[in-house]
């Protein structure tokens, strides 16, 4: 099986999401060691309550072993949110274990739960934060159960319990709301950073990210794909004679026409200037030619209005397919660009596959 080029792996590793997750992962690692150090300092400090020192030592050793095994043995693996989620659940278990032998719900270490709530809210989203907060609530009641079970539970006991737990309620609520706001802001920023303002299509940056994922998938499962480059033939004429406003409108019209002749699974982007690019997943050369001709004919049928007349539109199209035109997936874009250049050099307004020029 062919292996994708290293630059595609790097593109996947250093996508915006992965950069963000890598930063979160480093912060969680530091938090885990900080958590361990705080428990150790409490353990060795004079005058602190430790009911069973042996069990606290077991807890610290077990937690340190988990961090080393889970995080540092698989350091080459791509970071993921589910991994951070597992780490936060283990941190909750560690804190609960330590609190059991350092005063239960009266333990000063109980407030370490706040670190987990904050970490979850900033990295895992609102739903996971609420689930972890619910678990911490149940554990808090469990830790306090022996004290309240020893006597008749009164309203004053409930009031005292809620006063003690109030900081957790407040922080949990605020972090959950903040998490939802951050998630929304992140989505909006990503959408704006990956969308072409004029046409509403994906931009070059977004195309590169999405196509890289599709290429890796195609190589892994031995699927074909095609890259199609589309150039607006008469944009310069419209800009020069009628102004850039009409030129922008023409690009918007072309974008809509191309989009309506593609599948929802195809990746369409404005690649820059008067060029569009399409990634056709699981599409061989023959199928891609049919798509190219359909787009070419649909554009030719468009009647674009300019002052005092209707201007015919046309596009030049070049395409290349994997693995027919090249067994190296990262070369397909370059080959499609060569096919597009051939279409333009031959008089524009035509569809060219790389196989058409490769045989010449």
* Model confidence pLDDT, tens digit, residues 13-67: 445 566 667 777 788 888 889 999 999 999 999 888 888 999 999 999 999 999 8
Decide: 216 and 286 in contact? Cβ < 8 Å: no
Give the gyration radius of the chain's Cα atoms. 30
- Cβ burial 306-316 (10 Å sphere, 16+ → b, else e): eeeeebebbbb
Residue at 198 is within a domain: no
- 64 to 32, 38, 56, 61: CA distances (angstroms): 9, 13, 12, 5
CATH number at residue 293: 3.30.70.270
The per-residue pLDDT for 162 is: 65
Q: State whether 264 and 320 are in the same domain.
A: yes
Kindly state whether residues 180 and 234 are assigned to the same domain. Answer: no
- The reply to whether 133 and 243 lie within a common domain is no
For residues 202-207, give the mean pLDDT. 88
pLDDT tens for each residue of 232-256: 988 888 888 888 888 889 899 999 9
Going by C-alpha positions, the residue among 255, 257, 283 that lies closest to residue 269 is 255
Q: Is 15 exposed, middle or buried (0-12, 13-18, 19+ CB in 10 A)?
A: middle
Query: Which residue among 169, 193, 217 closes a domain?
Result: 193
Residues 239 and 315 in one domain: yes
pLDDT at 167: 73
Residue 1 lies in a domain: no
Residues 81 and 112 in one domain: yes
336/330 Cα distance (integer angstroms): 11
pLDDT band at 161 (very low <50, low <70, confident <90, very high): low
N- to C-terminal Cα distance for the chain? 30
Residue 168 to residues 117, 136, 174, 200, 297, Cα–Cα distance (Å) = 9, 9, 10, 44, 64
Residue 347 has pLDDT above 60, yes or no: yes
Question: How wide is the angle at C-alpha 247 spanned by C-alphas 241 and 249, nearest 5°?
Answer: 135
CA distance 126 to 119: 11
Q: Considering only 90-99, 204-213, 270-279, 333-342, which range has the smallest mean pLDDT?
A: 204-213
pLDDT computed for residue 177 by the predictor = 74
The yes-or-no verdict on residue 151 having pLDDT over 70 is no
Q: Are residues 231 and 169 in the same domain?
A: no
Is 264 within a domain? yes
Distance CA 121, CA 88 (A): 11
- Whether residue 128 is found in the same domain as residue 266: no
The pLDDT of residue 226: 95
Please check whether residues 180 and 313 belong to one and the same domain.
no
76 CB neighbour count, 10 Å cutoff:
5
In a domain, 124, yes or no: yes
Q: Do residue 79 and residue 167 come from a single domain?
A: yes
Give CA separation, 32 vs 36, 60, 79, 181, 339, in Å. Answer: 6, 11, 16, 26, 54
- Domain range for 305: 204-358
Q: Which two tokens stand for residue 116?
A: 């987990």
For the cut 80, the answer to whether the pLDDT of residue 193 exceeds it is no
State the pTM of this model. Answer: 0.61
CB 118 within 8 A of CB 171: yes
pLDDT value of residue 196:
86
Q: Is the pLDDT of residue 146 over 80?
A: no
Among 193, 219, 243, identify where a domain stops.
193
- Check if the beta carbon of residue 340 is closer than 8 Å to that of residue 352: yes
CA atoms within 13 A on the CB side of 12: 16
Tally of domains within the chain: 2
Residue pair 175/136 in contact by the 8 Å Cβ criterion: no
The residue among 166 and 321 whose pLDDT is bigger is: 321
Burial of 188 (0-12, 13-18, 19+ CB in 10 A): exposed
Same domain, 209 and 284: yes
Identify whether 199 is part of a domain.
no
Q: What rounded mean pLDDT belongs to the chain?
A: 82
Say what percent of the chain tops pLDDT 70. Answer: 83
Q: What average pLDDT score do residues 345-357 get?
A: 89
The verdict on residue 140 lying in a domain is: yes
The residue among 134, 165, 193 that closes a domain is 193
pLDDT at 137 over 90: no
Instruction: Quickly state the pLDDT bin for 9 (edges 50, 70, 90).
Output: very low
Residue 353 sits in the same domain as residue 228: yes
Q: Which residues have a Cβ under 8 Å from the Cβ of 203 and sit 6 or more positions away?
A: 194, 195, 196, 269, 270
Does 138 share its domain with 223? no
């Amino acid at each position: 099986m062919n292996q994708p080029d290293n630059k595609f792996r790097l593109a996947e590793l250093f996508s915006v999401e992965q950069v963000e997750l890598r930063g979160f992962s480093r912060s969680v690692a530091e938090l885990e060691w900080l958590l361990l150090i705080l428990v150790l300092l409490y353990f060795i400090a004079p005058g602190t309550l430790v009911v069973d020192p042996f069990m606290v030592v077991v807890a610290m050793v077990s937690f340190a072993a988990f961090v080393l095994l889970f995080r540092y043995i698989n350091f080459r693996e791509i970071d993921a949110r589910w991994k951070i989620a597992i780490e936060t659940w283990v941190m909750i278990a560690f804190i609960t274990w330590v609190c059991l032998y350092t005063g239960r719900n009266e333990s000063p270490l109980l407030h370490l739960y706040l670190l987990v709530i904050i970490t979850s809210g900033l990295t895992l989203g609102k739903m996971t934060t609420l689930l972890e907060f619910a678990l911490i609530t149940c554990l808090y009641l469990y830790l306090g159960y022996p004290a309240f079970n020893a006597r008749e539970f009164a309203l004053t006991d409930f009031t005292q319990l809620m006063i003690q737990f109030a900081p957790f309620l407040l922080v949990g609520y605020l972090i959950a709301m903040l998490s939802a706001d951050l998630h929304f802001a992140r989505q909006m920023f990503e959408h704006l950073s990956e969308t072409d303002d004029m046409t509403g299509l994906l931009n070059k940056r977004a195309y590169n990210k999405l196509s890289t994922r599709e290429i890796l998938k195609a190589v892994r499962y031995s699927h074909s794909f095609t890259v199609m480059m589309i150039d607006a033939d008469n944009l310069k004429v419209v800009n020069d004679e009628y102004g850039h406003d009409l030129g922008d409108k023409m690009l918007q019209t072309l974008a809509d026409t191309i989009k309506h002749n593609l599948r929802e699974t195809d990746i369409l982007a404005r690649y820059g200037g008067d060029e569009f690019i399409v990634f056709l997943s699981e599409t061989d050369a023959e199928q891609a030619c049919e798509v190219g001709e359909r787009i070419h004919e649909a554009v030719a049928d468009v009647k674009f209005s300019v002052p005092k007349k209707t201007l015919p539109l046309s596009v030049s199209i070049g395409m290349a397919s994997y693995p027919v035109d090249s067994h190296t997936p990262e070369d397909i874009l370059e080959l499609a660009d060569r096919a597009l250049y051939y279409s333009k050099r031959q008089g524009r307004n035509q569809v060219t596959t790389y196989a058409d020029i490769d045989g010449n």
